[in-house]
Structure 1
Amino acid sequence: MRDVILFVNLTLDGKLSGPNGQLDFMRPDPAMNEELTGELRARVDTILEGRVIHHAFEANFRAEAADPASPPALVDFANWMLDTPKVVFSRSTTPDLTAAVAELKAKPGRDMVLFGGVATAQAFVELDLVDEYWFKVYPTAIGDGQPLFTRRRADLTLLQSRSHPSGITTLRYTR
């Protein structure tokens, strides 16, 4: 059976973004990103996304892939993001998220990665549909913002932690 890996950026106080979707806490770390995305690409063959983030990713990664100034590793990742099969969720098309994910997990293939957006990530967590959590934790606390964990308690087991020179810590947990 395939696993769902939730891969998100978090603030030190557990926020996915500021109250209006701000991501200004994020800082670049190309070496860390290349390492993480390489590990992720070796494990997954399907991307799960919310509708809003799907459109944002599509535009961003098309631009990155076409930009002659983009580093080769970023172009490679952008093309992977564009070419990898996707399942896009929206509130109007997936009334029974649990059944839809169970059906995806039962299909043959490698694991799946959920990139979000906020509402989709929160729904997966709330419904206990995430098998592994991959966090990039930035050393910034923003106070007011959109949390990943809203109502459901999550007792997780640490699989791996790494500190990076940028101050970002990567954490992997399983349920």
Structure 2
Amino acid sequence: MLVGRTTYEEMAAYWPRALAERAGTETNQIMAERMNTYRKLVFSRSGDHPLTESADTEQVVVATADELVTYLKDLKRQPGKNIHLSGGSSFARSVLSLGLVDEFYFFVYPVVSPGASWFSEISDQRGLELVGTESYGNGVVEVHYVPRERADAPRPDSFTDMLA
């Protein structure tokens, strides 16, 4: 799992406690277990801020876009499962603008709120192909896309399969 430093700190404050206290729904507990066992790569531009300790966490310092591209391309070549980018918006915008995302899973929540656009730093239009959709009882809709140039690449059957 790839995550920016600020978002990681929010996750490190919540998920271990949620697991220990058995907080939330069964789905929340499944996610808490996964979040506490997944390998987490926390990206920072400077490495100046020490990370809250959490299981299987590594800080990755990449000061430039070129360093980020090199690191992620090397990571993609390594054996293992799917790589999941979990945010935050600054980190996600960097990865998106560099064209390093192979699949998009958008979760549309039934709420309108302010926030930073993940696509504000993309300088060109990029075509996507719809792979699938799913709706949930709480009103959330999942929309799965791949960049058109990756439309024929093998991929998991669902977002849940990717996280397994």
* TM-score higher than 0.5: yes
Residue correspondences, number: 128
Alignment correspondent of 1:137: 108
Deviations 1:76-102 (A, max 9, x none): 321211111111111222121100100
Higher relative CO (CA 8 A, sep ≥ 6), structure 1 or 2?
A: 1
Residues 154 and 59 (structure 1 numbering): CA distance in 2 closer, same or farther, change over 3 Å? Answer: same
Distance 1:72 1:169 in 2: 20
Structure 1 stretch 117-126 or stretch 65-74: which is displaced more?
A: 65-74
Cα RMSD (Å) of the superposition? Answer: 1.6
Alignment correspondent of 1:169: 141
Deviations 1:101-159 (A, max 9, x none): 001001111111010011011111111110000111123344x5310111322311111
| Structure with the higher strand share, 1 or 2 | 1
Distance 2:15 2:98 in 1: 29
TM-score by length of structure 2 reads 0.71
Alignment correspondent of 1:121: 92
Letter in 2 for 1:154: R
Residues 122 and 69 (structure 1 numbering): CA distance in 2 closer, same or farther, change over 3 Å? Answer: closer
Letter in 1 for 2:93: Q
Unaligned runs of 5+ in 1: 1-46
In the TM superposition, residue 49 of structure 1 has moved relative to its aligned partner by 0.5
Alignment correspondent of 2:69: 98
- SS in structure 1 of the partner of residue 30 of structure 2: helix
Unaligned runs of 5+ in 2: 47-60, 148-164
Alignment correspondent of 1:150: 120
Distance 1:79 1:167 in 2: 24
Alignment correspondent of 2:29: 75
- SS in structure 2 of the partner of residue 61 of structure 1: helix
- SS in structure 2 of the partner of residue 162 of structure 1: strand
Residues 166 and 77 (structure 1 numbering): CA distance in 2 closer, same or farther, change over 3 Å? Answer: closer
- SS in structure 1 of the partner of residue 101 of structure 2: coil
Alignment correspondent of 1:51: 5
Distance 1:160 1:113 in 2: 18
Distance 1:69 1:89 in 2: 28
Once the two structures are aligned, what percentage of the paired residues are identical?
30
Distance 1:104 1:124 in 2: 13
